[in-house]
């Protein structure tokens, strides 16, 4: 295996973990997903086309494995577990509220349908363009647009209902 390929893989690991965390919910499940993706990528390294985005290729692999897992388990998480919500040790009230708000975001994300969650993570969290997200999800750009819109509206509604959005705004204004 060429060192450069592994180096690229290691470089993109933090983002793969973030993406997988959003998809799978828990830390262990997410890391299992990333590990499986690494192994698959290495096994299929010859399929990667030089000149194309390596991160997009890896996102696609992670997504494919995740979908396979969902199908095989016939499981859709209703609410992400709280395992990875540790964002710091500061015990101040504001910090605690911020932590709660971020936790609510993850829970709200976990309640979205899988395809909406995927679109939201690729575009809003990972910063990919609609076109890039569409290629990874293997759907038309219009489908990504509609999934994103439904996801963003639903997420906002959940956060407003839970108060996370207001706490976040208050926190930002306090700073």
Partner 1 sequence: MPKPSDETLIAYLDGELDENARLEIASLIERDPDLRLRAQRLSESAALLRSAFDAVLREPLPQRLIAAARGETQKVVSIAARVKRTMAGQRRWWIGVPVAASVVGLLVGGGLGYFAGDEQRSNAVREAQANLASGSWLDNIAGYHKLFVAAGSNDTDLADVPPGDGSGRKGSQKLPSDFRLPNLKPWGLEFQGARFLIVEGRPATQLFYTTDNKALGPLTVVVGSSTKADLAPTFDHRDDLNLLYWRHHGHAYALVGTANIGYLWNIANDIGWQLDAI
- CA dist 84 and 50 (Å) reads 35
Q: Which of 49-57, 59-67, 70-78, 164-172 is the region at the interface with partner 1 (rule: CB under 8 A)? A: 164-172
- DSSP letters for 108-163: HHHTS-HHHHHHHIIIIIT---HHHHHHHHTS-HHHHHHHHHHHHHHHHHHHHHHT
Draw the binding track, 18-57, toward partner 1 (x: CB under 8 A; -: no contact): x--xx-----x--x--xx--xx--xx--------------
Q: How far is the CB of 128 from partner 1 (least distance, A)?
A: 10
- CA dist 21 and 169 (Å) reads 25
Nearest to 25 by CA among 150, 122, 109: 109
Name which of 48 and 130 has its Cβ closer to partner 1. 130
Name which of 7 and 138 has its Cβ closer to partner 1. 7
Which of 123, 134, 136, 137 lies at the binding interface for partner 1 (CB under 8 A)?
Answer: 123
Site for partner 1, residues 66 to 85, rule: CB under 8 A: 84
- CA dist 4 and 12 (Å) reads 12
- CA dist 50 and 46 (Å) reads 10
* Length of the chain measured in residues: 175
Residues making contact with partner 1 (CB under 8 A): 1, 6, 9-10, 13-15, 17-18, 21-22, 28, 31, 34-35, 38-39, 42-43, 84, 86-87, 101-103, 105-106, 109, 120, 123-125, 129-130, 145-146, 148-150, 152-153, 155-156, 159-160, 164-165, 168-169
């Amino acid at each position: 295996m060429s060192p450069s390929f592994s180096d690229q893989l290691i470089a993109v690991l933090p983002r793969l973990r973030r993406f997988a965390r959003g998809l799978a919910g828990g830390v262990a499940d997410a890391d299992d997903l990333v590990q499986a993706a690494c192994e698959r990528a290495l096994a299929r390294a010859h399929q990667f086309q030089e000149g194309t985005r390596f991160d997009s290729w890896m996102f696609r692999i992670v997504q494919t494995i995740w979908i396979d897992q969902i199908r095989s388990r016939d499981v859709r998480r209703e609410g992400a577990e709280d395992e990875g919500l540790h964002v710091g040790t500061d015990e101040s009230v504001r910090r605690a509220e911020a932590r709660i708000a971020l936790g609510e975001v993850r829970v709200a994300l976990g309640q979205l349908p899988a395809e909406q969650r995927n679109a939201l993570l690729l575009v809003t969290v990972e910063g990919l363009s609609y076109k890039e997200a569409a290629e990874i999800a293997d759907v038309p750009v219009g489908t990504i647009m509609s999934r994103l819109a439904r996801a963003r509206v639903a997420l906002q509604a959940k956060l407003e209902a839970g108060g996370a959005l207001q706490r976040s705004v208050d926190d930002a204004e306090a700073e």
